[in-house]
Structure 1
Amino acid sequence: MNLLKIHHIAIIVSDYKVAKDFYVNKLGFSVIRENYRPERKDWKLDLRVNEYTELEIFAEENPPKRVNYPEACGLRHLAFCVDSVEQTVKELKELGIECEPIRVDDYTGKKMTFFHDPDGLPLELHE
């Protein structure tokens, strides 16, 4: 088996417009395509994170609330590599996005922090 890379990660959001604004206008992902699917009564938004990775966003009419603790089964968090955690935190704060204090990962020795998307999904910055 030769799995080359992760192509995309899909998440379900509670508010399509809020999520689109957050991921496109605040985090800077670019829109590949967006479609309303009337047969499913949902929106599907494909975003380019970088040349290798995409994020799919689904917005259904009445999704169940996200379990509010990271140890629940399913997606725990998304982690993004950055050149400088400090600089990225500064940019996020300028956009009104709060981050946890920067700390050093015990295993990698690299700087890291967390912030959350509008639905409370933990997002990690890692050098």
Structure 2
Amino acid sequence: MAEPLLRGIHHVALICSDYPRSKAFYSGVLGLRIVREVYREARDSWKCDLEVSPGVQLELFSFPGAPPRPSWPEAQGLRHLAFAVADVDAARAALTARGVACEPVRVDEHTSRRFVFFADPDGLPIELYEA
């Protein structure tokens, strides 16, 4: 059997409407470590690389005038971003204490795993999945 073409997810890129607010949310509220941050003058754009786990990053971009992307009703394309957590109740409680509105915890009917949804500052649905 041939070696798989893909080795894993390296990064997910997000364009945010308010760069400082999103950077504070992902680094401060969610606790992702800032790996590097650069200003790209030719594009009048910031880029921030945040470490999700070893070898996996979230890239935040600012692009002046970028149009909003609807999250509701659900449209084709990226549906949501999901992070693995050890304890969904503890993670939900930590987010709630930091002022993040979370949905009730649910159970995946196919895997019996627990999960919860909330939104980032631009309304992107984020899932915490107990793994």
Mapped to 2, the partners of 1:121 and 1:70 lie a distance apart of: 12
Gaps of at least 5 residues in structure 1 are none
Aligned match of 2:106: 103
Aligned match of 1:122: 125
How far apart are 1:108 and its partner, in Å? 1.0
- Residues 71, 125 of structure 2: 8 Å contact kept: no
Q: Name the SS for the 2:42 alignment partner.
A: coil
Identical positions, percent: 48
Cα deviation per residue 1:30-86 (whole Å; 9 max; x = unaligned)? 111111111111111111011131000111111101213263122111101111110
Q: Do structure 1's residue 59 and structure 2's residue 62 form an aligned pair?
A: yes
How high is the TM-score relative to the length of structure 1? Answer: 0.96
How high is the TM-score relative to the length of structure 2? Answer: 0.93
Mapped to 2, the partners of 1:74 and 1:5 lie a distance apart of: 19
Mapped to 1, the partners of 2:30 and 2:98 lie a distance apart of: 10
How far apart are 1:122 and its partner, in Å? 0.3
CA RMSD of aligned residues (A): 1.0
Aligned match of 1:8: 11
Aligned match of 2:87: 84
- Residues 49, 59 of structure 2: 8 Å contact kept: yes
Gaps of at least 5 residues in structure 2 are none
Q: Return the letter of the residue paired with 2:116.
A: T
- Residues 70, 76 of structure 1: 8 Å contact kept: no
Mapped to 2, the partners of 1:19 and 1:70 lie a distance apart of: 22
Aligned match of 2:71: 68
Q: Return the letter of the residue paired with 1:47.
A: L
